[in-house]
Amino acid sequence: MNLIKFFKKNYALQNMKKSKGILAIMLIVIPVITTFCLYAHDSSRYVNPYEIFVAGGANFFGMIIIPFILSNVLFGYVYKRNSIDFINSMPINRKNLYFTNIVVGILYILILQVITFLFASIYIVSVGDSLFSIKLMFDIALAMSLAYAFLYICSTLALTVSGNRFIQLVVLIIVLFTIPFVRMTNLGSFIQNSKSIFLVNDNGIATEHFIDEEHVFAMPLTTFISFVGEDRVLEPKSALLTLGLAVLYTIIGYKLFEKRKMENTGNSFESEKLHLLVKGITLYPVWVVLYQIYDELEIPQLLLIMFVVFVYYFVYDLITIKKIKFKTTCVAFVVTSVVLLLTTMGLTKVGELTNEQKEYYYANEINSMEIRLSELFYGNMSYGEIKDENLNKLILSQITKNDYTRHGYGGSVAVDVSKVDSYVKNYSISVKCNFNNNEDIKISGTIDKDTYIQLLNYVLNDEEYINGLVEEWKISKDAMLEIVDGTSDKVFVGKEAERIKEVINKNLHEHLKEKISQELNSIENGSNYKMDYYDYNYYAVDNIEIYEYEDFEVKNYNVSFDVRSEVAQVIYDELNKAALEISEEYLKDIDGEDEFDYRYETNGRIARFNNDSYVEYANIYDADIRLIKEYIEKVKDIEFDVTKEFYQIDLYSMDCILFVNSIEEFERTIPGVTKDYNDDTYRYSDINTDVNSLNY
Amino acid sequence: MIKITDLNKTFGNKKVLENLNCNIQTGSIYGLIGANGAGKSTLLRIINDVYRKDSGSVLIDGEEVQDNEKLKQRLAFLPDDLYLIQGYTLKDMAKFYEAMYEKFDMKYVEELAGILKLDLNTKLDSFSKGMKRQCALICILATNADYMFFDETFDGLDPVVRNLMKKILAKHMANKNTTIIMTSHNLRELEDICDNLGVLYKGGVLFESDIDTLKTNMFKVQISFKEEFNEEIFKDLNPISYKKVGSVATVIFKDEKEKVEEALKKMNPVILDFLSLTLEEIFIYEMEVIGYEFNQVF
């Protein structure tokens, strides 16, 4: 389709002139606010590029609102009879009208992003922020242009079938979110982008791994998801999907616009059935939530919600068609309620069946293994094949060995115990396994220090890889070797040291800051530089992260160092102290005299009751809280030594971690855990443990 | 020539135009009259490609109008509810039209604005309703379109402006051989300017005719005789209406005036006066002829 042929310059110019006021405001507001936020943000610390949008908020907020406004500025004439008469009687046919406005809209979006980019570039040139490179801002402009343009096309598509702006917004939301919402709520979660698989080793022991799962959504959604936790500015697959959908929606929009009944102004849709259908769809999320929580609601609460939904049926009509048909609305309420309930139940069932299908992979079916080298060293993110069969076996044996032991309450997540060999963290690696059926599965796991050193030596002998790093980092080969083999004690000084300190401070839990900073000061003043830090999830890690932006994402390079035991002791003591404080608060209301009853719910959860009244629902209430309380009472005054073997007890229900050197007291107090712990594994046969067989 | 054949249009379940047939000759001023809701505006919107028809055909000089950009260059539509871009002056509006119409004449805008004493650079928002309508009319005339459509254009104008605008319209038509189609629900608005009239009723054209023929061939006679008489004595002349008050009868004939006059004179009447009919009277009688009450249609 030749867009230039359909582009009517005269009409485009007049249409732009007609709307110049609002368009000018749009072109000024976003760049100015974004630039203001860039200047206002703390450039001495690392900022996720998505925070630039949110930091500022203008571009991010604009991504939602501006395309909607733009479609209304350029196409909004269809909502008023006199403007319809004026525009549609002009000597321009609907095809040219539609494509001219589409091009003008996209042109405005591009101008907006170019201005924002130029403003941001001035900031970068004037301030010289190391992370916010021109390239990053360019990529953001590219990503935002695509997201804006896609939303503009979706808004226009919604407009072509809508009789007023409210309905346009409703249709837009339906177009954008219906399929992802169904996938998210009924068929699994897309936020985490991972799924669980089991890797079974030669001894029949299965370890659970979470592998990346492809959930490709169009741009606005991926932008939200990326904001939640990822560092990617532009996901190529998402960008392609967005582009594809944009073309598809443009064509559909054109077809609908060409056939649009212009007399339908002010109402929702020309067809009453379509009106009722769309109204019903708007209630789908309500039904999904209701279906999830109905068993926790009292009958009056349920009736109240249904009444609110019933009233909504009338309010919706008042807003959209400005009249009420009592009988039709009542019938529609009943019919759509039944249909939506059945739909929700059906989709949820499909989701449950899908999620219940456990996927098993067998180690003896692995053809070859590749290690993600960036997990070990700076730079190169690619995978490299390890051709040493013994090393492969060693790595495989470690990633299929599960140190985590779960007690027998049906896949509990309330209490976990894991054995920690040393305060020095195991090394995380990603392994891409190629199976006999040619399927590639990327598995993350940990290896111990000995295996790490073996792997390191193997890689260090790989001339090609080392030369690649030298080229990438523009440093001498010797220096690179010193860095990557971890034998060099590097001293960071000046701005670089300040930046590292900032990174650490940013990630420290508030109450640890003071103690750690004392340690940091001593480190900074010493000639040998050794460093560790905490992240805010309490997990001790032994590296420093350096961020660099390239290829549409912020790459995170780990610099590993040995942890000094003095620092580690302070950290772990503080963690234990915090855990005891948290658990004390959590457990203070637990009355040891209460008798509890447990009931297995059909939705897979366990409810806990006492004889008098309802006490507590929990997602999986698998350990008697009284036992945990008893255990904590016993161990709270026992000193912890980080240099010895120790155990990590995850008290998930209290959201804290306790570290102890001995597990005997735990085994005595909460015996259910020790059964599996003795095997030191999470057995294949235990995966399907039936909750009904549990022995409370 | 505009040829409309079996045109149908429904809004939801309501039939607005039903099997409408109509022919509008080139170079005439065609008045389309009908009550509110008769479908006049809808018909104009379909002819101007604002609305899509459900079925039937609308041919202008043999070409289908829908999505025909080239043909639409020859059409200009002034709807009843004006759309004037906010913040625009008459000059800005004219420039919009100039960008869209190839034959737009900006000098003509200036000339007409001078005649109507409208400032080109004053914002239209500050103009009165009548002035806005004049501005819109100027822009439409300046398009130099071959076919111009005016929907209830003279409604709400004071008599002086209305007459002035009618004069401008008539002059324009005479100079440029434009075909003008205008609608009104008021017969008197159109009778002094239109050449042809069509009556729209319940989505169809009830009848159409040229006004001169209507006026010439239908006339009123006041007549009286020495002796008593009744309607029977006129039956050979086929009167379409007969009323008698006292000894004077008022009879309406639809025939050649000379022929009727000659026949009546032979009856030796004591009073014989020929009177012109207003267009409204003509329509009342025409409606009666085809079995409709005038008040029912308007």
Separation between Cα atoms, residue A112 and residue A28, nearest integer Å: 8
Separation between Cα atoms, residue A552 and residue A363, nearest integer Å: 34
User: Which is higher by pLDDT, B4 or A572?
Assistant: B4
Which is the CATH superfamily of the domain at B2-202?
Answer: P-loop containing nucleotide triphosphate hydrolases (3.40.50.300)
The ipTM of this complex is: 0.88
Band of the pLDDT at B7, cuts 50, 70, 90?
Answer: very high
Residues of A in contact with B68 (CB under 8 A): 93
Separation between Cα atoms, residue A670 and residue A390, nearest integer Å: 40
Separation between Cα atoms, residue B272 and residue B279, nearest integer Å: 22
Contact criterion met (CB < 8 Å) for A89 and B75: yes
Task: Assess contact for B45 and B60: CB atoms under 8 A.
Answer: no
Q: What does each C-alpha distance from A385 to A378, A430, A457 come to in angstroms?
A: 17, 12, 14
Helix axes A165-185, A58-75, angle to 10 degrees: 130
Task: Assess contact for A425 and A571: CB atoms under 8 A.
Answer: no
Give mean pLDDT, residues B25-52. Answer: 90
Which of A11, A85, A262 has the CB atom closest to B83's CB atom? Answer: A85
As a residue count, chain B comes to 298
Q: A595-609, B29-43, B71-85, B235-249: which has the highest mean pLDDT?
A: B71-85
User: Which is higher by pLDDT, A33 or B62?
Assistant: B62
Residue A188 has pLDDT above 90, yes or no: no
Optimal mutation site among A18, A83, A86, A259, interface B, most CBs of chain B within 10 A: A86
Contact criterion met (CB < 8 Å) for A82 and B79: yes
Which of A21, A89, A95 has the CB atom closest to B77's CB atom? Answer: A89
Measured between CA atoms, the residue of chain B closest to residue A84 is B50
Q: Where are the domains of chain A?
A: 3-191+217-268, 567-693
Band of the pLDDT at A79, cuts 50, 70, 90?
Answer: very high
Mean pLDDT of chain B: 88
Separation between Cα atoms, residue A476 and residue A461, nearest integer Å: 16
pLDDT at residue A111 in the model: 93
Residue type, B115: I
Q: Where are the domains of chain B?
A: 2-202, 214-297
Q: How far is A503 from chain B (nearest CA, A)?
A: 54
Q: A200-204, B140-144, B226-230: which has the highest mean pLDDT?
A: B140-144
Task: Assess contact for B44 and B77: CB atoms under 8 A.
Answer: yes
CA dihedral B39, B43, B44, B46 (to 10 degrees): 140
How does DSSP assign A144-165, residue by residue?
HHHHHHHHHHHHHHHHHH-SSH
Give mean pLDDT, residues A487-507. Answer: 43
| Each residue's pLDDT tens digit, A421-451 | 555 556 667 788 888 888 888 887 777 767 8
Give mean pLDDT, residues A395-415. Answer: 54
Residue B137 has pLDDT above 50, yes or no: yes
Of A39-48, A105-114, A195-204, B53-62, minimum mean pLDDT range: A39-48
| Each residue's pLDDT tens digit, A449-482 | 678 777 777 776 777 766 665 555 444 445 444 4
pLDDT at residue A523 in the model: 39
Contact criterion met (CB < 8 Å) for A262 and B50: yes
A82 alpha-carbon distance from chain centroid: 47
pLDDT at residue A550 in the model: 58
pLDDT over 90 percentage in chain A: 14
User: Which is higher by pLDDT, A647 or B288?
Assistant: A647
User: Which is higher by pLDDT, B26 or A353?
Assistant: B26
Which of B11, B76, B79 has the CB atom closest to A263's CB atom? Answer: B11
Separation between Cα atoms, residue B126 and residue A384, nearest integer Å: 75
A residues 9-48 near B, CB within 8 Å? 10-11, 13-14, 18, 21
DSSP state letter for A558: E
| Each residue's pLDDT tens digit, A520-575 | 444 343 322 223 333 323 333 344 444 455 566 555 444 444 445 655 676 677 77
Residue A636 has pLDDT above 60, yes or no: yes
B214-297 to CATH, choices 3.80.30, 3.30.70, 2.60.120, 3.40.1710: 3.30.70
Separation between Cα atoms, residue B8 and residue B130, nearest integer Å: 34
pLDDT at residue A601 in the model: 43
User: Which is higher by pLDDT, A47 or A9?
Assistant: A9
Give mean pLDDT, residues A104-113. Answer: 93
A residues 305-334 near B, CB within 8 Å? none
Q: How far is B13 from chain A (nearest CA, A)?
A: 10
| Each residue's pLDDT tens digit, A317-338 | 888 888 888 888 888 889 988 8
